[in-house]
Structure formats: structure tokens, C-alpha cells
Structure 1
Amino acid sequence: MTRQVLLLNSDKPEVLQALARRPDVTVRVMTRKVYADLYRGHEVAYVDGFADLTQVEQAAYELAAHGPVDHVVAATEKSVVAAGLVRALLGVPGPGFDASLWGAHKRAMKDRLRAAGLPVTDHAQAATVDDVPRAAERTGWPVMIKPVFGSASKCTYRVDSPEEFTARHRAGGFADLAEQRLPVQVERLVRFTHEYHCDGVVHDGEVARAAVSRYFLPPLRTSPNLNSGYIADQTDPFSRDVLDLHDRVVAALGLPAGVTHLEVFRTQDGPVIGEVAVRPGGMGISRMWWHAFGVDLWEEFVRVSTGERPSRPDRAPRPETVGRTRLPALPGLRERVLAVPGVLEVLTPEECASPGRLEAYFTAADEAAAEAFIARLHEMAVPAA
């Protein structure tokens, strides 16, 4: 019997490739017209953006006119809430609108986690950028400000005082944030030593597998060209605390199935949740998992999102520490990095779908060796004077 999947996606090819491997699946797509060429041969409905829920509703009914839908799959962070609405409108099982908000809307997410007794920093929602000082009176300064919907580190700023905010705002320093035309998430600054992430696979409301990784540098403190990290020692006490926290986050969100990407700060008082996303992490994290555990997170995402059981890896995890780093696609750099002992592969910009960037994966003896390895690769990426 053919399963009918309604996919909300942008330009992420991994999920479409995983769905194409299933002969019993027919895919209909909701996307933007700029990505039309990626979905030739599929029934497609277009929206200007997933934030326009009126357009999402119309597109959902347009696609549903081709027959019943069995599964709704949101492959990007921006489409998570839209997918919750579509499930509610079409009566499709899976996270509904409220549950989808908890996995994408930063204020709703942290309200939910705090209500469950989980560690999040003080936060408040400002209606506009102009309203940030009032919200910061509730959280205390210094603060981080960002749109309530958003991915990566776009339009995210640290502000230390009301005076600094006023001066920067008058100078147009937050113009890109204001142009989002979204409420602003205001969060008390977390003082931390390192930033980690925990990625997991959830099936039937339970965590089927999860692993903790550490960023070489926090994403806000490094260029996207050099975003790096490695799989942490899973037996380390802090890693065990993060794994337990991940279990509790999944329970608090009431997530029935999906792939999670939980970001966690290491502080003197223990782990503090940054954010959680209900989709595979970007920046090469899924490929790092494949090298470390023999698990393709995009394949697992499609499995659990369409009612299948998680897979069983056909090999044991690597005993070494596995790491990753992005690098600028400078002439000859790929060949020089590939010649370094311990490097597993270096993907070209075309292979990793990241224009102007390479992605390198490697093994090292332990976490300290992984840090040294990343530093060495970054030095190789500095153009000669």
C-alpha cells in the first residue's frame, strides 16, 4: 500500500533522497517557487514562506485534493509550526499546532521547558525591537536578543546595557532584526565555559538513541566557514547529565517521534538549555554521526516521521573521537587536508550543498586531540600572506 507524504521543505536534498529510497512512498511538496526545479515530477503547492499560515492553509488543501495524506514531514526549522497546522487541518497524526510551537517558537519552547522544571535562562518576549528594554527589565541585563522564530545565529545580538541598546538601535545596528517583523526573544545572558549539543532519535515518545557533542567554539563566536565540533566522551559525567536532560526535554515537549538537536551551555551550576530543534542539526553534524556511529540522521528522521522503526547500524561505533569542521573552499586546500593522517573525507561545496565551503571529517585519539586537530585544520585555511 502506498504511503502519502506531504513534505514541507526548502532546498534540503537529504530528506527528499531518503524518501525517494522508499518505493511505497509518494511525496507531495509544499515549498517556495525558488526551489521548483528540485521537485520536478512531484505534486507541488507554493507559498511565499512558511510563516504565512494563510498561504500554508491554502497550499495544504490544494495538496490534499489529490487524496488523503498519511504523514506530514517538516524538514526545516521554519516549516515546523506550519506542519503542525497542516496536521491539525488535515487530521494527520503527529505533533499538532501547540506541540509544534514548543519545538520552534523560542518563547513558547522555553515557557514549556521551564514549566517542566528544566534549566533555562530568564526570558521574555518583546513585541518589537523598540520594546526590548521593557522586556529586559524582566530578565535583567546583559541580554541576548533574537527573533522568536529563526535558525542558526541570524539576527542574534548580545547587548550589555540599556544605554548600549539605545546607541546601537539609533545607529541602525538591529535593522535586520527589525526587518524580520517578528516578536523578539529577550534572554538573560548565560555565562558558560563551553557549548554542547545533544542529537537524538525519538520513536513512540522514547529516545531510541542519542549522543552528546561539543562545539570547538560556540556558533556565535566563530565564522560559519569554520564551524567545528566533535563527538564528546559519552561516559563523562557532564555528557551523562546532558543525555538525561535530553530525555527530560523530549518528555516535556511530548514529542512522539522525530530527530532532535538540543543545544546546551556548560556553566558552573551545571547544564543550561540553549534551544531545541526538532530536525537534524546542520553544519555537517549528520555526516559526523554517520562516521561515528554508522547512523544517517536524515534517514532516521524520515523513518520515525513516517511511522517506521529506527534502524539498527550495521557496524559498531568507532572507538576513536570523530570530529568535523567547515573550511573555506580555497584553491588546493581540499587536497592538502585529505593528505593529513586521520582525515576521513573532505566534501566539496557541491557534495555538502554549502557554496564556498568544504566539510572535513576526521578521527582523533580523544577530545584533546580532536581540539588540536581542528586548530591545525583552521591554520591550514589561513591564506598565505
Structure 2
Amino acid sequence: MKSVLLINTSSEPAARLMQERAGIQLSVITTPSYRRFYADDADVVVVESVEDLTQVRHAALEIRRRNPFAYVVSPSELSLQAGGYIRSYFGLPGAGYEVANAFSNKHVMKQRLAAAGLPVARFQQLSQFTDASEAARTLGWPVVVKPAIGGGSEDVFVLRDEAQVRDLATAELTAQLRESPYPMVAEEFVDIEAEFHCDAVVVGGEVHFAAVSRYFSPVLKSVGELVGSYTLPAGHPDAVAVAEQHAAAVKALGLSDGVTHLEVLKCSRGYLIGEVACRPGGGGIAEQLLHQYGVDIWMEFLATSLDDPVAGVQLEPEDHLIQYMLPRPPGTITHISTAEDLLQVPGVVYADVRATTGDSETGVVHSATFAGLVLVRADSEEQVQQRIAAVGTHYKIDVHTEEG
């Protein structure tokens, strides 16, 4: 029986799998919004925010009186810091705070990568939003501003000039970014030709498994529109280059055991490392990896977190598997295609429509906003584009907004 502390926010797969896992005495620290992920009788301590490390430490001390946990699992972007801190505080195995900080704090991450000689976009830490104008004098306009900690495209802004900085400095649109408990990071704007992600399992500091995929288009340009990616065969030139950068990044940031999600930008200067996290990628990446390679990335994440053996199976397919995240515009859904409809499209091997008629979505759309997932097989990159177009033609969603 292993005693485990799960520190989690939005990761439903981790919450479900940890409760299903045999041989575990589980305790949980989470926030009010995600208490629903756990059974009523589960050992759960709710804190206002897992980003407040003092709150998390007090909760962990309370839990240890009844469950002296020997392992800490921290699967969500916002719980990575807390997981590293608690491991370091109690002297437990796994990624300590220094490593967790390097994989979640974008400023520290880029410092470490640059110090190791790895290519990154030029960057600068900001103390407040209006510092973006000063940063742009060094980095040039436009400049990309984002929170130092956070996932996806949420609270990421491309600022074109000083006038836009002034306008957004008091706007509701940037309130969450400006009021976050983290510093901000400014980066030079890179004219991206292509964007890739590499998802991997690391054991003993070495890459045990790695898969490279290409996004349909750069993610920041795709927000509110079509987001997805397709796998590349291991010998593809882009896959080789991205996998090499991934291996170097893992060593530079000091990860011994875990899973990673790396993003790489291809531009006129070559391949630049965007960001890398020590958790599974979001969207449909887990399903993509399972169907294409037979690798259950969430099970591998738990295995590396709990010092259990990882799976040894690795397929090397030569075709492409597309993960197509079904667009979800804001408003109330009045009609949406069913999974059965989408399974009739040539090449589709999996369809999961999660949104239903009557669902309402308001607020800012970002890269994690989607209505469901479709996986599609293609024999060539040319056919990838044909398959994407076919799904787009068959997928229908109608929404009603206040504007009509």
C-alpha cells in the first residue's frame, strides 16, 4: 500500500485514475471548483488556491497526521509548483521545487534553457503590465506578454505598440493577468512558420519514449478557430530536430523521471524552444498518443510519479494521426454534430463530442476551449490536409449569442 498525496486542480483524468488505482491510500488537496472530481467520502482538503504554497503546506501537515504520504502527484499546470514545494519540504522522491519551478515558471525555464545554449525567443521579466513598453524597446514591437505560470493561450497577449499597452493596462480583458499572483514575462514576437509539440516519458534522466506532432497552425494564431495537430513519423526531419531539442531541454532543466510536453517554434532562425511542462499535454494529446503509439501518457505519468515501472511498448507508425479539437464558439449551442455523424467521415477512428445542445459558454475563448475531439488517420501529409478539410465540412455547430 502506497500513501499518496494528490495536489490537483483541473486534471480530471488524474483525479479519476488515482481513485481507481489499486494499492493506494489517497489524500487530496484541491480547490472548491474541483471538489466534485472526488467521492464524497474521499480524504480531501480544500484550499482557496494551490498557488498559495503556505495554504498547501498547512493542508499537507494536517493530512500527514492521518496519512503520512510518501509520494506526491501534481498533474495540473497550477499544481506543479505546489507539488515540487511539498516534495522538497518533506524530503520526498520526485521533482523537487527547483525542478518543478524550472518546468512551470516560464522566466526561470527560459533562463535555464538559454544558459545551456538552447535556442529560445528573447525574453524579459515584467513586474507590471505597463513594463511591456520598456521591454519592447529591447525586444522590439510587437511583444508577447504572458503570466510566468499558466498553461495554453490563456492571458497571453500580443501587444503592437505603446498605445495598445496603455489601453489594455486598465481593461477588463487583462484584469486576470494583471491581478495574478505571478510576475509576467515579455517575449519577442516570432514570425512562426510551424509549431510542434513533443510528448515524452523520461526515466532516469533519459528519454524512454518521445512522439513529435505538428500543429495545424501556430496555436496563438488559432485561438477561437481550429486547433489540432498530427503526428510525424520518427524519421521525419522536423521530428528528428524537435526530439533532439527535447532531450537537451530535459537535461538542462534537470528532470529525472516524469512525462513532458514540449512546444517548439520553427522560424527563419531555425527551431526555438517555446515552453516545456512536466505533465501530460492537454486537448486531445493523450488520446492521440494512445491510439497512435499504444502509450497511455496518464498511466505513464502516474507510474513515474509513484516509482512504478513504466510500459515498454513503443510502436513506430509511418502514417499520421490527427487530433482535431472541435471548435466551440461562445454562446448557447442550438445544434451540434453527433459523434455518430463524425464517425462517417473518411479516416475518422474516434469521435467524442463533449458539448451538447443547450450548453452555454461565455467569456474569453482560448486554446483549451473546444467542443470535443476527433481522431483521424492519414497516409501522407497531403492527405492530412484533405482529412482536416473533410472534418471541417461535416462538423456543424450553431450557437445563439446575445447579439443574435
Q: TM-score range by the shorter chain?
A: over 0.9
CA contact 1:265–1:273 (8 Å) conserved in 2: yes
Which residue does 1:26 correspond to in 2?
25
Give, in whole Å, the separation in 1 of the partners of 2:136 and 2:116.
Answer: 23
Deviation at 1:177, TM superposition (A): 2.0
Alignment TM-score, normalising by the size of structure 1 = 0.92
| Distance in structure 2 (CA, Å) of the matches to 1:121 and 1:84 | 26
Separation of aligned partners in 2, 1:224 and 1:233: 29
**Which residue in the other structure is 2:342 paired with?**
337
User: Hey, what's the Cα distance between the residues in 2 that align with 1:196 and 1:281?
Assistant: 12
Displacement after TM superposition at 1:382 (Å): 4.8
Q: Give the drift of 1:333.
A: 4.1
Deviations 1:129-172 (A, max 9, x none): 12222233333322100111111101111112334323443665
- Measure, in 2, the Cα distance between the counterparts of 1:152 and 1:203: 26
Query: Where in structure 2 are the equivalents of 1:34-45 lying within 5 Å?
Result: 34-40=33-39, 41-45=41-45
Rounded Cα–Cα distance in structure 2 between residues aligned with 1:376 and 1:224: 19
- C-alpha distance in 1, partners of 2:180/2:379? 44
Deviation at 1:14, TM superposition (A): 1.6
Amino acid at match of 1:15: A
Q: CA deviation at 1:232?
A: 1.5
Q: Which residue of 1 aligns with 2:13?
A: 14
- SS of the aligned residue for 1:265 comes to strand
Give the alignment of 1:224-243 within 5 angstroms.
226-243=226-243
Q: Which amino acid aligns with 1:265?
A: L
Question: What is the Cα deviation at residue 263 of structure 1?
Answer: 0.4
| Distance change in 2, residues 1:100/1:171 (3 Å) | closer
Task: Report which stretch shifted further, 65-74 or 156-165.
Answer: 156-165
Retained in 1: the 8 A contact 2:193–2:267? Answer: yes
Aligned to 1:260: 260
The 8 Å contact of residues 233 and 367 in structure 1, kept in 2 or not, is answered as no
- Structure 2 CA distance, aligned partners of 1:21 and 1:282? 21
Q: Deviations over 1:85-139 (max 9, x none)?
A: 1111211112211211101011011111111111111111111112222233333
Structure 1: segments with no counterpart, 5+ residues = none
Identity of aligned residues (%): 33
Q: Provide, for residues 14-59 of structure 1, a one-character-per-residue CA deviation record: whole Å limited to 9, x for no partner.
A: 2233334532222111101232232223211121111111111111
The 5-angstrom pairing of residues 37-76 of structure 1 reads: 37-40=36-39, 41-76=41-76
Structure 1 pair 350–380 and aligned structure 2 pair: CA distance change class (3 A): closer
2:384 pairs, out of 361, 365, 370, with: 370
Query: For the aligned residues, what is the CA RMSD?
Result: 2.3
Range 32-41 or range 261-270, more displaced: 32-41
User: What SS does the corresponding residue of 1:103 show, helix, strand or coil?
Assistant: helix
User: Equivalent residue for 1:380?
Assistant: 394
1:349 counterpart (354, 364, 369): 354
Give me the whole-angstrom Cα distance separating, in 2, the residues matched to 1:171 and 1:5: 43
Q: C-alpha offsets along residues 180-200 of structure 1, whole Å, 9 cap, x if unaligned? A: 253211001112201101110
Instruction: Determine the structure 1 residue equivalent to 2:280.
Output: 280
Paired with 2:10 and 2:248, the residues of 1 have a C-alpha distance of 32
* Distance 1:170-1:57 versus aligned 2 partners, 3 A rule: closer
Deviations 1:285-330 (A, max 9, x none): 01000110011100110011111222023x8454421111121484
> Could you say which residue in structure 1 is the equivalent of 2:143?
143
How far apart, in 1, do the equivalents of 2:2 and 2:224 lie? 38
Q: Which residue of 2 aligns with 1:359?
A: 373
- Verify the 8 A CA contact 2:153 2:223 in the aligned structure 1: no
Q: Distance in 2 between matches of 1:268 and 1:52?
A: 41
The SS at the match of 2:130 is helix
The range that moved more, 187-196 or 172-181, is: 172-181
Which shifted more, 21-30 or 270-279? 21-30
Asked if 1:270 corresponds to 2:278, the answer is: no
Tell me the matched-pair count. 381
